[in-house]
Each structure stands twice: as structure tokens, then as C-alpha cells.
Amino acid sequence: GAGVSQTPSNKVTEKGKYVELRCDPISGHTALYWYRQSLGQGPEFLIYFQGTGAADDSGLPNDRFFAVRPEGSVSTLKIQRTERGDSAVYLCASSTGNSPLHFGNGTRLTVT
Amino acid sequence: GQQLNQSPQSMFIQEGEDVSMNCTSSSIFNTWLWYKQDPGEGPVLLIALYKAGELTSNGRLTAQFGITRKDSFLNISASIPSDVGIYFCAGQPMRFGAGTRLTVKP
């Protein structure tokens, strides 16, 4: 596709459930980033992949959060035992390395 | 961690006015980026700055990379209603400011 695609666009889940958020980066982009954005705030870095490996996961808030990118393209952000405080827009971005990021439109996660 | 302080938090201006917003950091960055975000969408890159002291324009937008590498500003000239949105600075790909919310009154 022409841009970064994130699915679903909206996800409502109950507290304690497990969720998966998907990101399809721009074809050929080796770098992939996940961010979390709360209302009225800037994007907060979570994790960065270079190819298949997580080059920097220092932004993951705790061990309930995990992300994979097994084939170096599509990535999945996984959240276990969701809490109400996890409610936010989760943004994915990709780039060719040192080039600026191209963002998707995000997945709005609501934990009830 | 590295903190980016972006100001002002919000601006209300009349169409046609010029706008200036800035970003400062306690740490040195090698790259400064300015993004705009519309509701329901991801941030879109406006201007990228790679060298200290660099001044770059993109249409009505002008941005500068501070000589100390700890700050940057973005100017918008002759604002129009579609300039409405939230503007973010990013000191490097992984760190964003809290944003400046711009409202333009016709």
C-alpha cells in the first residue's frame, strides 16, 4: 500500500483481556516504531524495530506489553491483562532507517 | 529521559497572522523534526532539520535548528484555516514534545 496501515482502527475491550494491534509498514521500510498517544499529549515512544529485531524496547511500560516483527515487515503489538490506563491511541510509524517517520492513523484502544 | 519542552501549549490567531512556536531540550539532538497532526490521523512530517544552525522553508513554513542543538522553532506565515491542528516537535525519532494546538479564526 501507499502508506502505513494499522488495524483495527478502533478496539474496545474489557479490563483483563488480551489484545493485538497490527501494523503494516510501507513496503521496503526496514525501521518500524510503536508509539502510544494519550489525549492532549505527544506520541510516547514504546519500541523500535530494525528488521526483525527490537533495537530499542526501552519505552515499553511493563511486561504486559510485547511486540513482534517476525518477518521484518508486519508488526504486532500485544497487550496482556489490559488495564483502563492502557486506553490510548497506538501509533505505528516506519522509515528507511535515518529518514523521517511515516505514521499510520493509529488504533484507538478503549479498555472498559 | 530526554525531555522536550514545547511552547506555547495552544494558540488562537486570526487568519492571515503569522505564528511562531518553539521547542527546547536539556539534551543535544542531531535531528529536529516538525510534524502536524489532524484529528483521527497520525502525525505528518512538515520539515526535517539535520544541521545545527540550519534554516529550512517549506512554503509558508520556516523552521530553524538552534546552534546549540538544544532548540528549534517553527514559523507559519499568513495563516489559513487549514493550518488548524496540533504541531509537534521531535528531537529524534523517539522523543516528541507535548504539542502546540493551533486554532485559526477566519
Per-residue model confidence (pLDDT) at position A42: 93
Choice between B35 and B92, residue whose per-residue pLDDT is larger: B35
- The owner of cell 512554503 is B59
pLDDT digits (tens, 9 = 90+) for A41-85: 999 999 999 999 999 999 999 999 999 999 999 999 999 999 999
Do the chains contact at B94 and A45, CB–CB below 8 Å?
Answer: yes
pLDDT digits (tens, 9 = 90+) for B60-94: 999 999 999 999 999 999 999 999 999 999 987 67
Residues in chain B: 106
Do the chains contact at B43 and A59, CB–CB below 8 Å?
Answer: no
Residue B2: pLDDT band (50, 70, 90) is: low
Contacts of B33 in chain A (CB under 8 A): 100-101
> Is residue B40 predicted with pLDDT exceeding 60?
yes
As given in the structure block, the three cell numbers for residue A108 are 484507538
Which one, of B38, B40, B94, B44, lies nearest residue A106 by Cα? Answer: B40
Residue A85, classed as helix, strand or coil, is helix
**What percentage of chain B reaches a pLDDT higher than 90?**
83
**What percentage of chain A reaches a pLDDT higher than 90?**
91
DSSP state of A112: -
As given in the structure block, the three cell numbers for residue A87 are 486506553
Per-residue model confidence (pLDDT) at position B91: 85
Per-residue model confidence (pLDDT) at position A1: 52
Contacts of B58 in chain A (CB under 8 A): none
CB of B99 within 8 Å of a chain A CB? The answer is: yes
**Cα Rg, chain A, nearest whole Å:** 13
pLDDT digits (tens, 9 = 90+) for A7-42: 999 999 999 999 999 999 999 999 999 999 999 899
Alpha-carbon gap, residue A70 to A39, rounded angstroms: 31
Pick among B94, B95, B100 to test the A interface (most A CBs inside 10 A)? B94
DSSP state of A96: S
Alpha-carbon gap, residue A20 to A84, rounded angstroms: 16
Task: Report the chain B residue with the minimal C-alpha distance to residue A95.
Answer: B93
Per-residue model confidence (pLDDT) at position B93: 65
Q: Residue B103, CB half-sphere, CA atoms under 13 Å: how many?
A: 5
As given in the structure block, the three cell numbers for residue A32 are 518500524
Instruction: Give the distance from CA A94 to its chain's centroid.
Output: 11
